[in-house]
Every structure is written in C-alpha cells, then in structure tokens.
Amino acid sequence: MAEITDLAALRRAMAENAERPEGPARNARAEQLLAAAEGLNVPLAVIEALGHQLSVYNYSSEKDKMFVPFARLLRLWDERPGDFDAYETHSLHWVFKWMSAGMLDQPHIPLASIEKWLGEMEHRYRLAGHSERAVRGAEFSVAAHVGDLARAERAYAAWLAADRDEMADCHACELYGQGLWQVERGRDAAALTAWRPVLEGEFGCAHEPHSVLAASLVPLLRLGRTEEARAHHLRGLRLVRPMESMRAAYAEHVEFCALSGNEARGLELLAERPAYFTDTGHPRSRLDFLAVVTLLTDRLTELGLGDEPVPGPAGRAWTARDLAAHARTEALALAERFDARNGTSYVGERTRARMARRPLVDRLPLGVRTVRAAPAAPSAAPPPAPAAETSLPALLAEAHRLADTLRPEAVDAWAAVARAAGDGELAPADRALIADHEAMSRGPEGAELFERAAGLYAAAGDPGEALAARARGAYFRALRGEPDTALARVTGLSEEVRALYAAEATGVRQTASVLMSRARILMHRARTGAGPARDAAAAVREVPALIEGHDGTPDEGDARLAARVAESWGMLAELTGAAGDGAGAAELLRRAAAEYVRAGVPWCAVEYEVQVAALAEEAGDREEAERALRAALEHGGPYVEPAGQVQLHLRIAELAAGRGEVGVAAEHALQAAHWADEAGESGTSGAWARQQLGGYLLRQGRCAEAAEVLESALADLTAGTHGDGAVVQARWWLGDCLEELGEHRAAAEQRLLAADIARHWPEQRDHATLAHLAADSLGSAGLVAEADRAYARAGELWRALGDTRLLVRSLRARAWLALREDSGTAEAEGLMAEAVAVCEEARENAADSGARSSLTHELAQTHRQFGDLLAQAGGPGEAHFERAITLFGSLGPAGLHDRTAAELAAAELATELGHPEEASARAHAVLAAYENADETDETVRTRRAEAARLLGVAE
C-alpha cells in the first residue's frame, strides 16, 4: 500500500477506497487514511479525510460511527472556517441532513436532541443563505417517524413549497421520500405516479432507483400490477445485493417473496446476508429486517413447515418456528425502544401490522428457479368442489353429477361413496358404478373388475350397461397384450347389444359404448400391425352413424354421446394422417375438438388441438399452430398436468417469438418455467425455459431481469442434458446483459467461458465472435493486457475464417489498447498500419463490387481511426484523415455522414495545430455537403452545428 506523503496522494487513496465495496474493510481503510492525513500537517487534508470517513460510514452497516467525524468537522468549521475550501464547505452543510436522519435511526438519541438539532440545522442553513427545503424535509421525516401526522402533513407541504437549491436532496431521493409518504397514507397509485421518473431513469443517484424499486413491490402487488412487481424485484434485487448499507431495501424484497407465494426464495435471500440479522450499527433497518423475517417464518409455519431448517443468526441451527419467535422478540424490543424514545406507540403499531400482513398473491412466477415452499398438489387439476353435506346421499349426488359430465374427478368421487357406504345398503346400480370406476382407475390391471360391474348392472336391470362394462373389460385386455381374445369377446358383445337395441331393450348410449370399445380394440390392432386399418375405420364410423342417426344429433344434455362422436373423429383423423393426408387429418381433429367443447368437456379436446398444432407446423402454417396450442391451453384449464403446461407454453413462446411478439413469448416462457418448477423439472425443462426467457427479456432491453433469469438457468443447464449450444447461448446472452449493465469484468468471464466451449466446435465463427466480445469487455474493465491477448486470439480466428473486416477491427482495437500503455506509440502505430495493409490487400482482391465497397468503408474507418490515434499521441495524423475523407467520398451518399465526420475531425486537428485556414475550409466543405439535406435528420443538424462552431473558432 503506497505511503501517503502529500495531499495529492491522500486524494488518490481516498478515491480508490471510495470505489471499494461497502463494508467494514472500506471503513477501516478510511480510518487509516484519517490517521495519515493527520500526519501531513495540512488542515484541508484532515477535513477531506474526515469527510471521506463520514461518507463511508454512512454507506455501510456502521452508520452509528458517523456522528464522531461530523462533530469534529463541525468544531473545525466553527474554529477555522477558512481552512475549508468551497467543496468542503458545501459538503459540511450537505451532511447536516445525514445527521438528522441518522439520529432518528438511533433510538438511544433523545427526541429532544433531535429537535434541537433541527433548530441548529435551520439556523446554520439560514446563515449560509440556503433554502428551507432541506430543513422542512428533515422536519417531515421526524414527524412522520413518531406518528405526528398533522405536523408531518404541514412539513410535507412546506418541503415541497420551498425552493430547490444546492442543499436540496437530488430529485430521485426526494421523489422516493414523497412516494413513501403516499404509501403511508394509503395512496399506492399516487406513490407509483411520484416514483415514475425514477423508475423510468429520468432521475437517479447512488441509491436510486434501488430504494424506489424495493419500495414499489408491495404497492404493486396490492394494485394487482404483478408483472411490474416481478420486474422490479428482479431488477431491484440485483442493484441492492452488493450494497451492505441497503438492508431496509433488501428486507422489502424478502417481504415481497413472503407475500407472493415465493417463500422459498425469501429463505434464499436470508441465507445470502447472515450479517443482516446481527449488525447493530443501524437499528432502524435492523427493525425492518427482523419484522420481515418474522412475516416470512410465520408464513412458513402456517404452511406446516414450522419444523423445517431455515437460515438465521450464526451460532445455532434454526427452524422456521424458532426463528419466527426470535425475530418477533427482537423486532418488538427494538420497536419498544423507538416508541419509548418518541413518546408514541407508532413504530410498534406499524411493526406489528407489517408482521401480520397476509399474502397478496397465491403464487407469482418470477422466472428464476423457485420451488414452492409447501408441497404442491400432484396434479394441476383442482380437487372436486366439496359438497354442501358429507352425508351419503350428498356424496352420491355429487358422484353422479361428475360421472354424467365426464369430469376427471368422478373416479375419486365414487371411491368416496364406497368409503362412506362401507358394507351398508346401496342400490345395485350405484354399486355397479363404484366397481366400474374402480376398474377404470386401475387401467389394464382392472380388466376383471369390469365383470363384477357387469354383474351389478345386470342385477340393476340394465343389460345394455352390463354389456358395455364387459366391452370395456375387453378393451383393457387388448391393452394388456391379449388383442385376439379381446376382439373375439367384443365381437360377440356387439352382436348382443345390437339385438337388444333393435328390441328397444337398451338405449343408444349403452349401444354406442359397446361399439366404441370394439372400435378402440380394432384401432389398437391397426396401430400394432395386428389388423388392417380398413376394419378399424369401418368400426369407428359405426359409432357416429348410430348416435347421429337415432334422432339426427346427440342429446344436448348427454355429454357421453357427444364425447363418443368426438372420439370417433379423432380416431378417423389418426387413420387419415397415417394414410398421408395431413390436411384431412387436421380437419377431422378440429371437428373432434369442437365436438368435445360443445359437449361441455373441453379438457378432452387438448390432445387433439396439440395434434392439430403439430400438423400445422409440418405444413408451415405457424399461425394455425399457435391458435391450436392456445386453444389447448384454454380448453385444458386446470386439467393439463404441469409437464404438459410446460410444453404448451414453450411451443407458444417459440411461435410468438418467430413472428416478432417477443413480449408474448417472454410471458409464455415465464409460465413454462413456473410449471416446470411445479412439475419437479426445474433442472431439465425448467432450465431450458429460463434460458429462453432470458433471451426474450434481453431482446426487450430488460437486461437486469434477463441477467437474473440467465444466472438462474445456468445453475442447471448442462451440455449433457441440454446440449452445449444451449449453455453457450445462455452465457453469451448473459455476457451481453452484464456488458449493458456496466459489469464488464463479469461480462468478460461469461464470454470467455462460452468461447472455451465453442473452441471445440467444427465451425469457429462463434468462437471468434465470443473471443472478440470478451476482449471488448476486458478492455472496458481496464484489463488491458488480458484484452490484448483476447483480441489477438480473435484476430487469428478471423484470419483463418477469411473475415478481413473483423480481423481489421481486432487490430484497430489492439492499437488503441497499446496507446493506453505507458510504453509509447510505436506498437499502436504498427498495429494500425497492419490493419491498413490487411484491408488494402483484401480490397484489391475483392471478388465483387459489394465486397469491395464494404472493404472500402472499413479501410476508410481504419484511416480515420489512425488519424485520431496519431492526433491523441501528438503525431501527424492529417494524411490519414485526408485518405479517409477520399475513401468515404468514393462511396457516394452511403458514405456521406462518415465523410463529414472525418472532415470535422480533421478540422478540429487543424484548429489545434494552429491552421485556421484549413479548419475553415473543411468546415465549409461540411456545410456544403449538407446544403440541401433533410432538416429533420439529427445527424445533419449535429454536423452543421459542429461545423459552425469550428468556423467561429477559426475566424
């Protein structure tokens, strides 16, 4: 660590320390720098070191330490104000506001002292000629904290009415405080309106939009604006994670998880910051954190997970129930200290209300991997609606209703009837239905049970239903591997039921049921090659002919008959498709789906809509494919299993993205990720869905959200399961996100990891591109040597691929890096000269006019940059500018803007070298080039303004 020997060295050390992460290490270094400043015997050095120490304390968990350096600063000001320069004078008055807020956050500081401090602040601001705005803002904070709402309203109005001056908080911080007050008064929508300029990036600072994003979460949930809430959580959490001082904002993200069905993610956040449980330097944010911990762990206990292990304060193992009790005790004790200091019960009341909040959303998908804290039901289908009574007659009525409407819950309903009835008396028909549904629930292993059902149907006086039950048993035997026996049985049963139907001894429903079982068996034989398709087709057609012929159309009230017709069309579609008629198959499938919907059993149409979508994609009709998939989702409702939901949403996302609807695609990818978690497929289809979602978010420019999602995806993406292409793409996208967010070192890491995989691929363009992008990121991160090596590697790859343009760009980038080094300009000039030579050679050998034009543009850019580089290095760059202007000019209108930019750069250089005539001539050339140009073109206006400025300088 360099020795501090003068004020300049001290300032460099303080600037370096200011860039370090918040925390005790940075604070300790500030204390060392203060000691060094005291040894310089320069009053301003001590003042600046005290200001630096105060600042790092304020932005850390040790806020309680900032009062000592401030008191010393204030004493120095009172004794020797001349030792303060203008900047330190401003800073001293600026941090008065930090002191008032800091005192309020420390319950050991008496309220009378805080009120006295307010008066001191007002007096000193008046002496310095500052507006009352900051003073009234501080008074408002005190009144709002203690619950003096009338005074708070007066101070709030006075704060907004006072003039903004140099002591006013930045716009972003002021809007944050104003929005918080609106939330406090129950005006969520007004708060979000106040925060809009911060959320949209119009205003910002070191802690904004971090705080606003966190504060907006619960109001957004209350207003039902869940998509915004999700986005603010993903974006905001990324901002507050590295900032130790933002415990209160971090707590709001945990609270959001507790109120949105993401309790497991809330626990993950607690595990990331164990020190937040115990850091005591800022009691007010610790109270916020502990209140939210209580809310989360109470919720887990309510869900039956009270004995599950959870992260908590170091030193012992915690269960959710234990941590809830501990956090509640600690939070209420802190609240009591604040209330005792304030002389009100306001803090305690708000703390209890916060701990008692109820979930606002059952489960809000976030896109990142998040398991459900409480086990989900094994199926997405809801349980049967509970009967008003649990008596046997009520259970029977419900079972009949579910069976008659073909509800999937009918099997469970008849099982409930069986349990309730026991060995008691039930009508034979009801006993038959119990046996029938039990047999169906067992699949092929229940074939023999259908015989029992048949006997009970016969005893109930329903011979047709008895035959239908035996026919179902025959079909199950076919599925069990007995197709010949099954066919023989069902053939005899079909003859019997036809005779009964002819004698009007049974109905169309029973007859259709037997014929459908025969059709199913023949279809099964056709699929397995055991029988001809024509026999199956003939048997299938008998079913709708019977049903639609008995009175022209299926009974509107009989879902079973309509379902038989629909199933028939579905079977015929299968046979038609197998014969090579995809269009005919699709039409029959659509007819089958429509019949199911008309019958009131739309969930049965899902399979057919999915098949329609597959046929449509094969035919290149993506619009019809998307329509069918959306219909499948709509028709299936809660009866589509989670794994099925995943596939449907992923396919819709892909189709939507293909037609440019990236927002729609992102929503479906989000749903796919959610259902994958529900299905227990987080590491397989869930990782793929998150990878896709990250890409869609990136395409929308939502880089912070995309980064969170892609990092979550990469925890599960593997080359073995998903393919190395998926892993490379995820890292590539993540690198793009991180670069956009200014996280250049992390971006370089992701791009290098992706490049390391791609280097093994036969085609090396992706490898070259990733190496080049990694070099860009390394250069932006200030890692010059590493960037140069990456550009050199990319250049070798571009040379091998024959891509001169990108080879030239890698050489130019290396030249600029070389100029940043202290070793002189020779290497930089050599690299730029090589770029010129490579580009000129390729241009001479270009195979066609298009390639030659492209290389001419690249050569012109290279000469332009060569001129810029020499100008920065103090060398003669005029010739390169002239060459660039000539080359751009040869491109005609396509090179106009680049030519004028080069002219202006040459004019600027001429001005600096003291050649006003040349500068003036070049500026006039630019104005002449745009003499009849479009006035609305921003580039035209900018170029003209710059030319006019240079003319003024030259004259």
Tell whether the model's pLDDT for residue 536 goes beyond 90.
Answer: yes
Burial class (CB in 10 A: 0-12, 13-18, 19+), 394: middle
The mean-pLDDT minimum among 292-301, 372-381, 779-788, 944-953 falls in 372-381
CB-CB contact of 817 with 784 (8 Å): yes
Q: How far apart are CA 449 and CA 457, in angstroms?
A: 13
Would you state the pLDDT for residue 822? 64
Find the mean pLDDT for residues 563-584. Answer: 94
The pTM of the full predicted model, rounded to 2 decimals, is 0.85
Q: Which amino acid is at 784?
A: V
Tell whether the model's pLDDT for residue 171 goes beyond 90.
Answer: yes
Find the mean pLDDT for residues 201-230. Answer: 96
1: pLDDT confidence band, cut at 50, 70 and 90?
low
DSSP assignment of 895-912 = GHHHHHHHHHHHHHHHHH
Tell whether the model's pLDDT for residue 572 goes beyond 80.
Answer: yes
Cβ neighbours of residue 486 under 8 Å, at least 6 residues apart?
474, 475, 477, 478, 521
Tell whether the model's pLDDT for residue 385 goes beyond 60.
Answer: no
Tell whether the model's pLDDT for residue 390 goes beyond 80.
Answer: no
List the structure tokens of 863. 């000469």
Share of the chain above pLDDT 90, in %: 76
Helix spans in 619-743 (H): 622-636, 642-658, 662-678, 687-699, 703-714, 719-722, 724-740
Cβ neighbours of residue 641 under 8 Å, at least 6 residues apart?
379, 380, 679
The tens digit of pLDDT for each residue in 79-106 reads 999 999 999 999 888 888 888 878 899 9
Q: Which residues pair with 309 in a beta bridge?
A: 319
Helix axes 826-844, 849-873, angle to 10 degrees: 170
Burial class (CB in 10 A: 0-12, 13-18, 19+), 491: middle
Helix axes 662-678, 687-699, angle to 10 degrees: 160
The tens digit of pLDDT for each residue in 791-839 reads 999 999 999 999 999 999 999 999 999 998 765 688 999 999 999 999 9
Burial class (CB in 10 A: 0-12, 13-18, 19+), 378: exposed
Q: How far apart are CA 104 and CA 107, in angstroms?
A: 7
Residues 22-45 as b/e (b if ≥16 CB within 10 A, e otherwise) read bbeebbebbeebbebbeebebebb
The tens digit of pLDDT for each residue in 283-339 reads 999 999 999 999 999 999 999 999 999 999 999 999 999 999 999 999 999 999 999
Q: What is the mean pLDDT of the chain?
A: 92
Phi, psi of 92 (to 5 degrees): -60, -50
The tens digit of pLDDT for each residue in 793-804 reads 999 999 999 999
CB-CB contact of 709 with 234 (8 Å): yes
Q: How is residue 319 annotated by DSSP? A: E
Q: Which amino acid is at 440?
A: M
Please tell me whether the peptide bond between 209 and the residue prior to it is cis, using omega within 30 degrees of 0.
yes
726: pLDDT confidence band, cut at 50, 70 and 90?
very high
**Which CA distances in Å does 558 have to 405, 561, 679?**
8, 6, 34
Tell whether the model's pLDDT for residue 359 goes beyond 50.
Answer: yes
Q: Which residues pair with 310 in a beta bridge?
A: 318
Q: How far apart are CA 698 and CA 689, in angstroms?
A: 14
